[in-house]
């Protein structure tokens, strides 16, 4: 404004009276004085503005800074009049950049005045940018600012809330997670030559992946591109690194306590205020509470334990960049912080050692810290045992350290990471690979006693699944004789091996003994079910598997419950398709909570048995798909069970077979058929039985071939010499299985 000299002098006096600094005071004084004097001296203007209800109050107030902060109401009123005059909205956009310069968070006088401007102009768009979040939705600021809390600023609430078109409504956007396509677009447009992107697509891809959407990383990469281009052509490998400047800019404005918390938090995938405080070795939580307000700290409100995590680009730069700043940490500093964080996570585990989410979350972070900094296992032993108990097998393994050879085991933590990774991955990998990984762990001798037994036990299980029964029996026997924590499980494994070999009396006696001596942990109900169902005693088997599922649910062991239910569905599918249908549905429901691969395959076999006897190509397609999946998993036992289901299907289709009456004598519990004459030829059934006999030629599940002959109503061939020891005389077992086939045939005819 070109004001007369006397007005300039008067405004200077006003600015001095208000203690406003320098040019800012002069400008504020000019605007305030000019506005008030004009309104007081020009009555016509006052009459023109008479429609503004609050104008009189503003004119009567002293022209100070407090009064000035309310005058935006007049501008908002004027904008509303313009909108009516032009019959369309008039929405000015007001930019407030570098909001962090408004003042610190202990003195909010200027922030209060600026917030008042925003509140009084609901018909304008304010774009407030800065390095820190706006805290206006925090109810704790009541008294420091005029309008606070989620009711006044629902869009600024960190945990969401209702949004509406009313004063104070807004949104808070953290510009630190740009989408990959936006990063690519920015890099392509940032530097161009003749209208074409100067930065090649391969370099843009590398920069985008490393930036994790952080704009500062993109800008630094552009600068690096120009610097390299002065001497040579930039290559993608030139941008596969972290920028020390990113660390400097991130730390430059943080007070020392917050810097310590930030570096400690960089050790963690996720953290809470108390966990970051403990990792930093501080007694007060205030620095961590202030740190989580920074824009490079992201929040996941749904996370049950630790809702905060650092922006990945910032975290990577802090962890790996070798900056020369005065407050950088040495290797010993990092190790001490890792040890503090490790034990703080252990305290979290100790508060809820049976909560699955807590166990998995603590293991994921604790394993990486113990491995990366060669820490003692400490609480990880109990956490690992809790993890394997539930048989859920969520992935745990942290990523491999950069610059280290894959599979290199040097410490107990390395060995434990490899063990738990192998156990979790066995649901997606071939059992041979699982056995190889566990063998490598066992051979190092790095694990302490209980964890070593755990690795050996699951190695023996993998060997059993692969059909290496003798090797598995040796491993189980060693663990059982040791009397450790896994001794009952190993004894159960030996009983299961007896069942696979067809020695049912031994398996039954072992299951009953385990039930009396060990109780629930013996899982003897499942063992009993596995003994009963090959005898054709399917009702008793279903009852045993149901009891096993109930016990597993009572002990919240999801994987065991799903396994028991899948076997219950299988035996009932042979017995009665109508009863099997809801049981298969329940098994599928339980598999959503845990996904043991063998149980999922058993459930699909149960569905095939339920549908057996229905001709058509669909059945064969389902069998073919299952065979491929079982082959990929490396489960020959499941392959044999599937083949038994196929034999049942063809036996039901073979309606012309005559019942075999040439069984062994009524007192024969272990003898072979004496033969009752040749059965009617059925090439399809013959081929399936021959395939089953080939699959069980190693000895495991050899009794399946006997059962296939029983179902088909055929005598056992003289050259079939599987050493099966049935619980009942053989002819009774034969009758039960043949009755299942004839009952299914009658059901299909009816």
C-alpha pair distances (Å), 117 with each of 106, 139, 214, 329, 630: 20, 20, 31, 44, 68
How confident is the model at residue 169, as a pLDDT? 59
Provide the pLDDT confidence category of residue 344 given band limits of 50, 70 and 90.
Answer: very high
Considering only residues 442 and 34, tell me which one the structure prediction assigns the higher pLDDT.
Answer: 442
Range scoring the smallest mean pLDDT among 206-210, 312-316, 474-478, 516-520: 516-520
How confident is the model at residue 320, as a pLDDT? 73
Read off the pLDDT of residues 628-676 as tens digits, 9 standing for 90 and up: 999 988 889 999 999 999 999 999 998 765 545 444 444 444 444 444 4
| Residue 368, token pair as written in the block | 């990486």
Mean local confidence (pLDDT), 484-504: 91
Provide the pLDDT confidence category of residue 387 given band limits of 50, 70 and 90.
Answer: very high
Mean local confidence (pLDDT), 395-414: 69
Provide the pLDDT confidence category of residue 365 given band limits of 50, 70 and 90.
Answer: very high
CB-CB contact of 744 with 612 (8 Å): yes
Alpha helices in 87-230 (DSSP H): 109-120, 180-190, 201-211, 215-229
- By residue count, the chain amounts to 750
Provide the pLDDT confidence category of residue 358 given band limits of 50, 70 and 90.
Answer: very high
Three-state secondary-structure class, residue 310:
strand
Provide the pLDDT confidence category of residue 166 given band limits of 50, 70 and 90.
Answer: very low
Mean local confidence (pLDDT), 302-319: 86
Give CA–CA dist 31/11, Å, rounded.
Answer: 9
Range scoring the smallest mean pLDDT among 244-248, 502-506, 576-580, 592-596: 244-248
- Cα–Cα nearest to 700, from 508, 475, 505, 468: 468
Residue 367 has pLDDT above 90, yes or no: yes
Residue 136 has pLDDT above 90, yes or no: no
Query: Does the model's pTM come out above 0.75?
Result: no
Mean local confidence (pLDDT), 690-700: 90
Provide the pLDDT confidence category of residue 115 given band limits of 50, 70 and 90.
Answer: confident
Read off the pLDDT of residues 666-691 as tens digits, 9 standing for 90 and up: 444 444 444 444 556 788 899 999 99
Read off the pLDDT of residues 584-603 as tens digits, 9 standing for 90 and up: 999 999 998 877 888 999 99
How confident is the model at residue 669, as a pLDDT? 44
Residue 311 has pLDDT above 90, yes or no: no
- Kindly list the domain boundaries of the chain, sorted by start residue: 5-68, 180-241, 256-488, 611-750
Provide the pLDDT confidence category of residue 47 given band limits of 50, 70 and 90.
Answer: low
Whole-number average pLDDT of the chain: 83
Provide the pLDDT confidence category of residue 435 given band limits of 50, 70 and 90.
Answer: very high
Residue 22 has pLDDT above 70, yes or no: no
How confident is the model at residue 668, as a pLDDT? 42
- Cα–Cα nearest to 383, from 398, 371, 396, 373: 396
Residue 165 has pLDDT above 50, yes or no: no
Provide the pLDDT confidence category of residue 158 given band limits of 50, 70 and 90.
Answer: low
How confident is the model at residue 16, as a pLDDT? 55
Q: What percent of the chain has pLDDT over 90?
A: 45
Give CA–CA dist 595/561, Å, rounded.
Answer: 11
Read off the pLDDT of residues 246-290 as tens digits, 9 standing for 90 and up: 777 777 778 889 989 999 999 999 999 999 999 999 999 999 998
Give the containing element (helix H, strand E) for 94.
strand 93-96
Q: Strand pairing of 308-310 and 297-299?
A: antiparallel
Mean local confidence (pLDDT), 213-220: 86
Residue 366 has pLDDT above 50, yes or no: yes
Mean local confidence (pLDDT), 575-581: 94
How confident is the model at residue 323, as a pLDDT? 52
String of DSSP letters for 421-473: HHHHHTTTS-HHHHHHHHHHHHHHT-S-HHHHHHHHHHHHHHHHHTT-HHHHH
Three-state secondary-structure class, residue 191:
coil
Provide the pLDDT confidence category of residue 443 given band limits of 50, 70 and 90.
Answer: very high
How confident is the model at residue 623, as a pLDDT? 94
Read off the pLDDT of residues 418-431 as tens digits, 9 standing for 90 and up: 999 999 888 788 88
Provide the pLDDT confidence category of residue 1 given band limits of 50, 70 and 90.
Answer: very low
How confident is the model at residue 530, as a pLDDT? 93
Mean local confidence (pLDDT), 5-30: 52
Residue 402 has pLDDT above 90, yes or no: no
Residue 405 has pLDDT above 50, yes or no: no
Give CA–CA dist 9/501, Å, rounded.
Answer: 108
Mean local confidence (pLDDT), 683-702: 91
Residue 309: strand pairing partners = 298
Residue in the structure block whose two tokens are 């599928």: 588
How confident is the model at residue 86, as a pLDDT? 77
Give CA–CA dist 436/593, Å, rounded.
Answer: 28
Mean local confidence (pLDDT), 570-592: 94
Give the containing element (helix H, strand E) for 566.
helix 558-575
| Residue 173, token pair as written in the block | 């956007």
How confident is the model at residue 167, as a pLDDT? 44
| Residue 389, token pair as written in the block | 């108990």
Range scoring the smallest mean pLDDT among 31-45, 393-407, 457-471: 31-45
Read off the pLDDT of residues 526-549 as tens digits, 9 standing for 90 and up: 999 999 999 999 999 999 999 999
Q: Strand pairing of 192-193 and 297-299?
A: unpaired
Based on DSSP, count helices (H) and strands (E) in the chain, helices before strands: 34, 6
How confident is the model at residue 84, as a pLDDT? 78
Mean local confidence (pLDDT), 379-407: 75
Mean local confidence (pLDDT), 127-143: 81
CB-CB contact of 457 with 441 (8 Å): no
Burial bucket for residue 193 (CB in 10 Å: 0-12, 13-18, 19+): exposed
How confident is the model at residue 671, as a pLDDT? 44
């Amino acid at each position: 404004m070109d004001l007369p000299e006397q007005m300039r002098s008067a405004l200077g006096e006003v600015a001095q009276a208000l203690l406003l600094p320098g040019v800012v005071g002069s400008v504020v004084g000019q605007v305030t004085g000019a506005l008030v004097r004009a309104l007081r001296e020009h009555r016509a203007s006052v009459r023109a503005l008479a429609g503004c209800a609050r104008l009189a109050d503003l004119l009567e107030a002293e022209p100070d800074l407090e009064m000035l902060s309310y005058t935006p109401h007049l501008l908002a009123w004027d904008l509303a009049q313009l909108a009516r005059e032009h019959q369309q909205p008039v929405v000015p956009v007001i930019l407030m950049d570098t909001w962090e310069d408004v003042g610190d968070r202990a003195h909010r006088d200027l922030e209060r005045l600026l917030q008042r401007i925003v509140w009084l102009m609901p018909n304008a768009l304010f774009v407030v940018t800065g390095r820190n979040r706006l805290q206006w939705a925090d109810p704790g600021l009541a008294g420091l600012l005029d309008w606070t809390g989620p009711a006044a600023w629902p869009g600024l609430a960190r945990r969401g809330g209702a949004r509406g078109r009313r004063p104070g409504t807004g949104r808070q956007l953290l510009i630190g997670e740009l989408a990959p396509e936006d990063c690519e677009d920015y890099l392509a447009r940032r530097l161009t030559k003749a209208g074409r992107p100067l930065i090649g697509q391969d370099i843009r891809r590398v920069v985008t992946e490393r930036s994790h959407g952080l704009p500062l990383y993109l800008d630094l990469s552009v600068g690096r591109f120009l610097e390299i281009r002065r001497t040579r052509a930039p290559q993608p490998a030139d941008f596969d690194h972290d920028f020390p400047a990113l660390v400097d800019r991130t730390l430059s404005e943080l007070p020392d306590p917050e810097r310590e918390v930030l570096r400690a938090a960089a050790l963690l995938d996720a953290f809470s205020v108390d966990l970051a405080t403990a990792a930093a070795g501080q007694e007060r939580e205030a620095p961590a509470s202030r740190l989580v307000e920074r824009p490079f700290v992201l929040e996941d409100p749904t996370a049950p334990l630790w809702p905060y995590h650092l922006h990945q680009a910032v975290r990577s730069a802090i962890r790996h960049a070798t900056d020369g700043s005065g407050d950088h940490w040495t290797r010993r500093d990092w190790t001490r912080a890792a040890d503090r964080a490790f034990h703080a996570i252990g305290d979290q585990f100790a508060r809820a050692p049976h909560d699955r989410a807590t166990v998995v979350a603590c293991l994921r972070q604790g394993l990486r810290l113990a491995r990366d900094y060669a820490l003692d296992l400490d609480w990880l032993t109990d956490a690992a045992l809790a993890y394997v108990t539930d048989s859920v097998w969520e992935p745990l393994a942290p990523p491999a350290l950069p610059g280290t050879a894959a599979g290199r085991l040097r410490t107990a933590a390395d060995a434990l990471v490899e063990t738990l990774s192998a156990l979790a991955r066995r649901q997606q990998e071939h059992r041979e690979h699982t056995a190889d990984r566990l063998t490598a762990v066992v051979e190092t001798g790095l694990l302490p006693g209980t964890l070593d037994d755990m690795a050996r036990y699951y190695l023996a299980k993998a060997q059993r699944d692969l059909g290496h029964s003798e090797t598995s029996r040796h491993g189980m026997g060693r663990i059982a004789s040791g009397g450790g924590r896994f001794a009952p499980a190993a004894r159960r494994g030996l009983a299961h091996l007896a069942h696979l070999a067809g020695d049912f009396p031994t398996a039954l006696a072992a299951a009953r003994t385990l039930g009396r001596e060990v109780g629930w942990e013996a899982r003897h109900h499942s063992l009993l079910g596995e003994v009963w169902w090959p005898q054709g005693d399917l009702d008793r088997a279903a009852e045993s598997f149901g009891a096993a599922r109930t016990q597993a649910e009572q002990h919240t062991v999801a994987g065991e419950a799903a396994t028991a239910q899948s076997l219950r569905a299988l035996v009932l599918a042979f017995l009665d398709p109508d009863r099997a249908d809801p049981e298969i549905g329940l098994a599928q429901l339980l598999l959503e909570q845990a996904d043991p691969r063998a149980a999922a395959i058993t459930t699909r076999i149960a569905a095939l048995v339920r549908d057996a006897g229905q001709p058509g190509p669909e059945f064969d397609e389902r069998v073919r798909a299952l065979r491929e999946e079982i082959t990929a998993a490396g489960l020959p036992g499941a392959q044999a069970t599937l083949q038994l289901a196929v034999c049942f299907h063809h036996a039901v289709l073979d309606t012309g077979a005559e019942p075999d009456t040439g069984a062994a004598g009524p007192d024969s519990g272990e003898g072979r058929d004496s033969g009752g004459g040749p059965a009617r030829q059925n090439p399809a059934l013959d081929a399936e039985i021959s395939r089953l006999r080939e699959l069980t030629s190693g000895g495991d599940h050899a009794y399946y071939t006997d059962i296939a002959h029983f179902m088909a109503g055929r005598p056992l061939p003289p050259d079939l010499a599987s050493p099966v020891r049935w619980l009942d005389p053989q002819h009774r077992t034969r009758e039960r299985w043949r009755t299942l086939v004839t009952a299914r045939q009658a059901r299909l005819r009816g």
